[in-house]
Structure 1
Amino acid sequence: MAFDMKKEEDVKEFLENLGIEYRFGCFSEQRPESCHLLGDYLEGVKKDFEKAAKIFRNNCDESSYAKSCHKYANYRFLGRGCKQNMDEAYSYYLKGCTAGDPDSCLNSGLMCVSNTPTTAKRPKDYDKGLELLDKACKGNNAFSCYYISGIFIQGVKDTITKDMRKAFDYSVKACDLGNMYACANLSQMYRKGDGVKKDEGKSEEFKKKALDLQDQVKQQMQLQFQQGTEQY
C-alpha cells in the first residue's frame, strides 16, 4: 500500500504499522535490532519514555545489544522514564562499552574522571577512566581522543604526568576524525615545538584545517536554522 505522507491520516497509519512491525520483530522473532527500533519508536513517536526505558533495558540485559545499553544508561543518567540513578547509568555504560559502543566507553570514562554525583560516592579513577576513554578513541570517537589529549596537555596533580608526546598522538587522531579543537592544538604544538619537532609549515596546515572545520560547523548550524524557520 502506498502512503501519501502529506496526508495526516496516512502518516498516522504508516506509524501504527511501523509500531506493529517492530513489536513483531522484537517479541515474536526476538530480533535485538527490532527491539531497539521499538524502543526508539516508543520514545520518538509515542513519547512513552517509561516503556521505552524497559525495552532498552531488557534488550541490553538479554541480548547485550550495545545501542540499547547506551540508551538505557542515558535514561538512568537523566532520570528519563525511570528514576535517576548515576551508579546504574555507569553500570549500563560499561555494558554498552563492553558490547562495543564507543559512546558508552566515552560516557563511562568521563564518569570516572569527572565530579559526577553517585550514591556510592565513588572516588575519581583516572586509570579506569583513561582505559575507557582510550577504548572510545580506538572506536573512532573524536571527542574522546581530544579529551585524553587535554588530560596529557595539563596533567593531573599527583596522578597523571604531563606528557606532550602522548597529547600530540591523541590530538592527531582527534583531528583526523574531525575535531577542530584538536587541530587547533596541533597547530600550536607545531608552532612551539611542544611534543613534536617545530614546524611552521605544519602549524599553518593544521590551523587551516581547524578553520575549515569551524566553517563547516557554522554552515551546518546555519542550514539547520534555515530548515527550522521553514515550518513557520
Structure 2
Amino acid sequence: MAYNFKSESEVKEYINNLGIEYRFGCYSEKKPEVCHLLADFLESIKKDYEKAGKVYRTNCDDYKYGKSCLKYGTYSLLGKGSKTSDYKLAYDYFEKGCHLEEPDSCLNQGLLLITKNDKPELKQDVIKGMQLLEKACQHQNGNACYYLSGMYIVGVKKDNLPGSLFQKDYNPEEYLVQKNMKRAFEFALKGCDMGNMYSCANLSQMYAKGDGVEKNEKLAEKYKTKAMEMQKDAQSNKTLTFQEGLNPT
C-alpha cells in the first residue's frame, strides 16, 4: 500500500502499522534485529523509554544482540527509562556488548574504566580500559583510536593527574602509561582513516612538528585540510537518526 505522507491520518496509520510489524517480527518470529527496531520505535516514535529499555535489555540477554546491549548500557548510564543511573549495570551491559563484538560497547566499557569516578562498585582500571579501547579501535571505531592517541600524547600519571606536555617536566617514574609519540601517531592515523576529524587534526600537528613521525609539511597541510573538510561536512549534515544504536557520549 502506498501512503500519502502529506495526509496526517495516513501518516498515523503508517506509524501504527510499523509498530504492529515490529511487534510481530519480535514476539512471534523472534528476530533479534526486529526486536531492536521495536525498541528504537518505542524510543523514537512513542517516547516510551521504560518499555524501550525493557525490550533492549531482553534482546541483549535472550538473543545476544550486541546493539541492544549497547543501548541498554547507555540507558543504565543515563538513568533513561528508570529513576536513577546505575554505572555498574551500564558497565555490565557494555561488557556483554563488547563480548558480542559491538565496538561502541568496548569503547564505552573502556571509558568507564579509564575515567576517574567516585563509584565504589566500579573500580578504575586504566590498563584494562586502554585494552578495551584498542579492541574497539581494531574493530573500526575511530573514536577509540582518537582517545588512545591522546593518552599516549600526554601519558597517564599514577596519581591520575594530567600529564605535562613539556618534555623538561617529564618524569617516567610518575607515569602508569608512558608518553609514546610513535604509538600516538599510529592510533591517530587509524582514527583519521576511519573518519575521526580530531585524529586528522592531531596528525597534522604531528607531521608539522615531527612528533612520532618524520616532519613533513605537505602531509601536515593535507591532514589539516582533511580535518577542516570533515568539520564542514559534520556541520552541514546533522540529521536525526533512527534504527541505530546510541552514539557514545
Normalising by structure 2, report the TM-score: 0.84
| Offset from partner CA, 1:65-93 (integer Å, 9 cap, x none) | 01110111111111111242110001101
Total equivalences in the alignment = 221
CA contact (8 A) 2:117 2:124 kept: no
Listed as ranges, the matches of 1:30-109 within 5 Å are 30-82=30-82, 83-109=84-110
- Whether 2:83 is the aligned partner of 1:110: answer no
- Following the alignment from structure 1 to structure 2, what is the Cα–Cα distance between the partners of residues 73 and 160? 28
Identity %: 51
The residue aligned with 1:230 is none
Residues 22 and 110 of structure 1, relative CA distance in 2, 3 Å threshold: same
Q: How big is the shift at 1:117?
A: 4.5
RMSD: 1.5
CA contact (8 A) 2:22 2:37 kept: yes
- Following the alignment from structure 1 to structure 2, what is the Cα–Cα distance between the partners of residues 80 and 21? 25
The residue aligned with 2:218 is 201
Residues 166 and 79 of structure 1, relative CA distance in 2, 3 Å threshold: same
Residues 183 and 113 of structure 1, relative CA distance in 2, 3 Å threshold: same
2:155 maps to a residue whose letter is: G
- Following the alignment from structure 1 to structure 2, what is the Cα–Cα distance between the partners of residues 219 and 24? 38
Give the number of the structure whose residues are more often helix, by fraction.
1
1:110 maps to a residue whose letter is: L
| Offset from partner CA, 1:147-173 (integer Å, 9 cap, x none) | 100000000113100000000000001
CA contact (8 A) 1:86 1:119 kept: no
Q: Which runs of 5+ in 1 are unaligned?
A: 225-232
Q: How big is the shift at 1:7?
A: 1.1
- Following the alignment from structure 1 to structure 2, what is the Cα–Cα distance between the partners of residues 43 and 100? 24
- Following the alignment from structure 2 to structure 1, what is the Cα–Cα distance between the partners of residues 30 and 236? 42
- Following the alignment from structure 2 to structure 1, what is the Cα–Cα distance between the partners of residues 234 and 34? 33
CA contact (8 A) 1:154 1:162 kept: yes
CA contact (8 A) 1:76 1:84 kept: yes
| Offset from partner CA, 1:204-230 (integer Å, 9 cap, x none) | 222222222222223335xx6xxxxxx
- Following the alignment from structure 2 to structure 1, what is the Cα–Cα distance between the partners of residues 197 and 43? 32
The residue aligned with 1:229 is none
The residue aligned with 1:28 is 28
SS in 2 for 1:159: strand
Residues 184 and 64 of structure 1, relative CA distance in 2, 3 Å threshold: same
2:198 maps to a residue whose letter is: Y
The residue aligned with 2:180 is 163
Q: Which runs of 5+ in 2 are unaligned?
A: 158-174, 240-249
Q: Which has the higher contact order (CA 8 A, sep 6+)?
A: 2
The residue aligned with 1:227 is none
Residues 20 and 117 of structure 1, relative CA distance in 2, 3 Å threshold: farther
| Offset from partner CA, 1:172-222 (integer Å, 9 cap, x none) | 01111122221121122112211111222222222222222222223335x
Normalising by structure 1, report the TM-score: 0.90
- Following the alignment from structure 1 to structure 2, what is the Cα–Cα distance between the partners of residues 220 and 3? 27
Structure 2 residue aligned with 1:215, among 206, 209, 232?
A: 232
